[in-house]
C-alpha cells in the first residue's frame, strides 16, 4: 500500500498517527492482564524466600489491579502522544520571572498522566506492604505469642502512612512543581495552628506506642475500660477497636485506653461466681444442712471450680438464704457460662431431691389486710 495513504491529514493529524493511537490503546487493553500477571510473577521472585509458605496467587491478586491501572495509563499516554492536534492548543498564558510562558493542552495532559502514573506506582508499593503484612500475619498466627497479632497490623498502618506521606510530597514536587521544603518551613503560624489542632491525634498516636511498649493487653484479650467491656480486635494509630459480647463494635481512642481504668479480664486466673438461693421456711434444719453439704461437695469435686464456700447466710422475709460462692478457671467465656449453668441445674436437682422448695414472696390476709408472711424459724 502506498505510504502516501497514511500521510493524509485529518483534523490536524495524519492517518498513520490515528492508526498508531488506536493500535497502542488496543494492545494495552488486550495484553494488560497478561503483562500484569507476568510483572507480578517477576516481582514475586524478590519475596519467594520470605514468603515460601504463601501462595503466589495471593501476591498476584493484590498487585493485578495496580499493574493493570499503570499499564492502562501508560498505554493511553503513549497513544495520545502520537497525535499533534489538539495537543498544541494553548489553554492559558502566565508570567514567570518576567517571561511570558504558555501552557498547552499537551502540557496539561502530561501533568495529568504523570499524576496517575505516580499514583499507580505508590499504589503498587501499598499493595506490597499489604502482602508483607499478610505473610507476617500468617506466621504470627502459627506462633503462641499474641503480641505479634497486635503488632503486625499496627506496623502495616504505620508504613502505609509513611508511603502516603512520601507520595503526597512527590506529587506536589513533580506534578505541581511545589518546593515541599519551602512549603513546610513557610507554614509559620498556620503550622502552629495545625499542630494544635492535631494535638489530640498526636496524643492518641503516643498512646498507641505506649500500648505496644507496656503491653497491657494483646489482640483477643477481654478487657474492661471505664465500664466498657469487650474483646480487643485491633490497635490502630488513633483508636482501639473492641467487640462486645453482643457483637457490637466499640471504638475507644488510644489516649482513653491508657488514661482510664483498664481491667484485663483475660489475664485473671479465675472468674468469681456468687449468688444466693432462697429455701422455704418449711424446710427443717437437717435438710438445709444436707443441701448445703451436697452443693459444697459437688463444687469440690468439679474439675473446673475451686475455693468454693456454701453457707446458710441469712433469714429473709420469705426464705432461708443460702449463699453460694466459687471460682471458675479462666477458660473460654462460653465454657464458663456452661459451667455456671451446670452448677445451677445441680442446685435445683439437690433442692428438689431433698423434698424442699425454692421460696418466693408470699402474702397472708389478716383482718382484710395483706401482710407479708413472717419468718417462722
d(CA 82, CA 103): 19
Contacts with 197 (C-beta within 8 Å, 6 or more apart), sequence order: none
Phi, psi of 169 (to 5 degrees): -75, -30
Rg (CA), the chain: 37
- pLDDT given at position 294: 94
Report domain extents, the chain: 3-180, 197-264, 270-353
| 309 prior amide bond cis, ω within 30 | no
CA-to-CA dists, residue 32 to 64, 66, 118, angstroms? 9, 11, 18
Give the single-character DSSP code of 358.
Answer: B
- pLDDT given at position 6: 67
Question: pTM score, two decimals?
Answer: 0.63
- What does the pLDDT profile of the chain (377 residues) look like in tens digits? 556 776 777 877 888 888 999 999 999 999 999 999 999 999 998 888 888 788 889 899 999 999 999 999 999 999 998 888 787 777 777 666 667 677 788 888 889 999 999 999 999 999 999 999 999 888 887 777 767 777 888 888 889 989 998 999 899 888 887 776 666 565 554 555 555 456 677 788 788 888 888 888 888 888 988 888 899 998 888 889 999 888 889 999 988 888 888 888 877 778 889 999 999 999 999 999 999 999 999 999 999 899 999 999 999 888 999 999 999 987 777 888 899 999 999 999 999 999 899 987 765 554 545 445 444 33
d(CA 205, CA 211): 10
CA-to-CA dists, residue 113 to 81, 185, 222, angstroms? 11, 29, 50
Give the single-character DSSP code of 45.
Answer: G
Output the 3-class SS for 185-224.
HCCCHHHHHHHHHCHHHHHHHHHHHHHHHHCCCCCCCEEE
- pLDDT given at position 280: 92
Locate 110 and state its grid cell: 502530561
Classify domain 270-353 by CATH architecture.
2-Layer Sandwich (3.30)
Classify domain 197-264 by CATH architecture.
Roll (2.30)
Amino acid at each position: 500500500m502506498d505510504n502516501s495513504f497514511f500521510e493524509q491529514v485529518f483534523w490536524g493529524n495524519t492517518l498513520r498517527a490515528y492508526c498508531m493511537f488506536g493500535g497502542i490503546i488496543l494492545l494495552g487493553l488486550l495484553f494488560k492482564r497478561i503483562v500484569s500477571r507476568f510483572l507480578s510473577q517477576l516481582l514475586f521472585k524478590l519475596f519467594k524466600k520470605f514468603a515460601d509458605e504463601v501462595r503466589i496467587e495471593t501476591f498476584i491478586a493484590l498487585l493485578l489491579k495496580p499493574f493493570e491501572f499503570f499499564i492502562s495509563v501508560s498505554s493511553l499516554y503513549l497513544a495520545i502522544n502520537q497525535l499533534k492536534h489538539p495537543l498544541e492548543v494553548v489553554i492559558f498564558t502566565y508570567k514567570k520571572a518576567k517571561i511570558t510562558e504558555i501552557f498547552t493542552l499537551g502540557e496539561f495532559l502530561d501533568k495529568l498522566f504523570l499524576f496517575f502514573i505516580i499514583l499507580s506506582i505508590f499504589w503498587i508499593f501499598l499493595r506490597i506492604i499489604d502482602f508483607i503484612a499478610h505473610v507476617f500475619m500468617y506466621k504470627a498466627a502459627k506462633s503462641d505469642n499474641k503480641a505479634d497479632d497486635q503488632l503486625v497490623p499496627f506496623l502495616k498502618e504505620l508504613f502505609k502512612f509513611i508511603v502516603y506521606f512520601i507520595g503526597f510530597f512527590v506529587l506536589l514536587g513533580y506534578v505541581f512543581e511545589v518546593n515541599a521544603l519551602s512549603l513546610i518551613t513557610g507554614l509559620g503560624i498556620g503550622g502552629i495552628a495545625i499542630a494544635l489542632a492535631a494535638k489530640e491525634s498526636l496524643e492518641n498516636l503516643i498512646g498507641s506506642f505506649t500500648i505496644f511498649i507496656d503491653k497491657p493487653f494483646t489482640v483477643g484479650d477481654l478487657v474492661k475500660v471505664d465500664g466498657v467491656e469487650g474483646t480487643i480486635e485491633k490497635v490502630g494509630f488513633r483508636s482501639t477497636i473492641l467487640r462486645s459480647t453482643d457483637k457490637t463494635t466499640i471504638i475507644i481512642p488510644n489516649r482513653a485506653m491508657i488514661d482510664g481504668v483498664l481491667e484485663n479480664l483475660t489475664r485473671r486466673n479465675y472468674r468469681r461466681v456468687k449468688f444466693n438461693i432462697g429455701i422455704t421456711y418449711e424446710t427443717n434444719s437437717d435438710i438445709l444442712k444436707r443441701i448445703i453439704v451436697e452443693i459444697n461437695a459437688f463444687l469440690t469435686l468439679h474439675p473446673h471450680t475451686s475455693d468454693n464456700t456454701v453457707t446458710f447466710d441469712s433469714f429473709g422475709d420469705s426464705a432461708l438464704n443460702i449463699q453460694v460462692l466459687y471460682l471458675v478457671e479462666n477458660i473460654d467465656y462460653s465454657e464458663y457460662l456452661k459451667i455456671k449453668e451446670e452448677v445451677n441445674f445441680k442446685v435445683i436437682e439437690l433442692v428438689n431431691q431433698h423434698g424442699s422448695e425454692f421460696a418466693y414472696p408470699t402474702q397472708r390476709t389478716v383482718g382484710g389486710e395483706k401482710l407479708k408472711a413472717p419468718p417462722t424459724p
